[in-house]
Structure 1
Amino acid sequence: MSQRSVNPRPVSRPRLYEQLVQRLCEYIGDAGLGPGDRLPPERELATALGVSRATLSQALVAMEVHGVIEVRHGDGAIIRRTVVEEQVLAMLRDRGNRHEEVIEARQALEVKLAELAARRREPADLAEIDDALTQMREEIHTGRRGVGGDERFHAAIATAARSRLLSRMMTEIAPLIAETRLGSLSQPGRPDASLAGHEHVAAAIRAGDPDAAATAMRDHLRLVSIIDSEE
């Protein structure tokens, strides 16, 4: 019997930010830090670790997504829980593997929700969508990522669509969407670009144009699917 020629897959090299996450977890343990303690300022940490602030920021976002730290505007990174570095790296790789699937699910659900919202929206829905946009603008203006306004905007569209089943499906994947949202809005320049995408979706819904709303949402989700990773 002849054997098939199968080449072994190359071993993937950990990305720089993944290595940095491991070093940060080691630092937390070595320094005896625990929940409620604050990490040193980003500039100080980046210098001590010999990396750029952009790479450090990516590592901190990864840790924030998994609830290890909480980055508070004007207050730095606060430790929420301690985990061994192997756990964090496993969570990072799992997140990377399912990112594409989450985006696919969002495209299937939210494009249709935007289309339905353009058909079924009522004055109260438009007011909530506008309030969500205002919240996101204010968050970005004050140096934050706009996460709260972003989440509120998409929830308002789901409400305006008046589809209980689609809304229930969105609720089921909400924790996974929260991960992709934070990762996307942490990219340089992304909050402003995301806000512009929201405004296009909102304009189409306000105009009662289902096709334009679906197209605008599809374009917006294509943007948020891009997560840059520094090697």
Structure 2
Amino acid sequence: MSSNRRLFWGIVDKIEALIDSSMYSPGSRLPPERELAETFNVSRPTIREAIIALEVRGKVEVKTGSGVYVLKPVNQLDLQEKVNAFEVTQARALIEGEVAAIAATTITEDELARLHQTLVDMENSNFIAAADKEFHQIIANATRNNAMILSVTNLWNLRSSTPEIIKDYDSVCSKDNSKTLSEHKAIYQALKSGDASQARSAMHSHFNRLINVLFDAVESRALEEITRKNNEKRGLYSIPNIAS
């Protein structure tokens, strides 16, 4: 790494440390570029590069004509509470589609045998939820990629992260086990044949149906709520009730 690059990253670290120590508090404006250059005894272009890096890291926001402002740290729990079942399912589709494609070229005979056992368990209605989870985890593990494995695990955990997501997934997972089983079988066959493209496609098809079922469930609940409210109003405004 060149001395200029080391200098630039050094400034990034120093400003970030000042932000983390609340020397520059969330919502406050950083000193002007010229002042920062004097403080750290570097050129203004170096400060400019450091600000860009801090913006990429989500530490500051550059407002044209106004200045550079310190951002409030992202609270992981706050962010998690904003996630919904549709986002989780879309993310799983994208990530697990690639996981399946990789696994098609790396999965072992032992893993295929364990994968097949989850199909047997689902077909016999034995521990369906557990078999479903194990099916996806075996495929993730087969990639031999720890980042992929962690991503799949974290996304699975998000399924039970909020009451809303739990309710949405319960409405989906409590029905159409035969379709889930059929989709799992298609994924299994693609993995067994070592077809990465087909494995990705089969996984995408699986999650695409789940998203559509989610929409149907949410729509059904919305209609039930509308009916309930209309019935309340019907009782409130009915002539017999008024005249009695």
Output the TM-score relative to the length of structure 2: 0.50
Deviation track 1:107-154 (CA, whole Å, cap 9, x = no partner) reads 1210011001101011111011011111111117xxx7x212111111
Structural RMSD (CA): 2.0
Residue 149 (str. 1) matches residue 131 (str. 2): yes
- Indicate conservation of the 8 Å contact 2:85/2:159, yes or no: no
Distance 1:212 1:161 in 2: 16
Residue 122 (str. 1) matches residue 104 (str. 2): no
- Indicate conservation of the 8 Å contact 1:119/1:208, yes or no: yes
Deviation track 1:166-208 (CA, whole Å, cap 9, x = no partner) reads 1111222222235465332213xx1100100000000000000
Higher relative contact order (CA 8 A, sep 6+): 1
Shift in alpha-carbon separation, 1:156–1:183, aligned structure 2, 3 A: farther
Deviation track 1:20-40 (CA, whole Å, cap 9, x = no partner) reads xxxxxxxxxxxxxxxxxxxxx
- Indicate conservation of the 8 Å contact 2:137/2:153, yes or no: no
Which of the numbers 87, 105, 110 marks the counterpart of 1:101?
87
Q: Structure 1 segments of 4 or more deviating over 3 A?
A: 177-183
Distance 1:112 1:214 in 2: 6
- Counterpart of 2:141? 159
Which of the numbers 191, 198, 203 marks the counterpart of 1:212?
198
- Indicate conservation of the 8 Å contact 2:103/2:139, yes or no: yes
- 2:202 counterpart letter in structure 1: A
- Indicate conservation of the 8 Å contact 1:147/1:182, yes or no: no
Deviation track 1:29-59 (CA, whole Å, cap 9, x = no partner) reads xxxxxxxxxxxxxxxxxxxxxxxxxxxxxxx
Higher share in helix: 2
The SS at the match of 1:173 is helix
Distance 1:181 1:203 in 2: 26
The SS at the match of 1:161 is coil
> How many angstroms does 1:161 deviate by?
1.7
Distance 1:181 1:208 in 2: 31
- 1:184 counterpart letter in structure 2: V
- Counterpart of 1:111? 97
Q: Give % identity.
A: 24
> How many angstroms does 1:101 deviate by?
0.8
Distance 1:128 1:182 in 2: 26
Distance 1:173 1:105 in 2: 8
Distance 2:169 2:199 in 1: 20
> How many angstroms does 1:104 deviate by?
1.6
Distance 1:181 1:210 in 2: 28
- Counterpart of 1:172? 154
Residue 185 (str. 1) matches residue 167 (str. 2): no
Structure 1: 5+ residue runs without aligned partners? 1-93
Structure 2: 5+ residue runs without aligned partners? 1-80, 161-165, 224-244
- Indicate conservation of the 8 Å contact 1:118/1:213, yes or no: yes
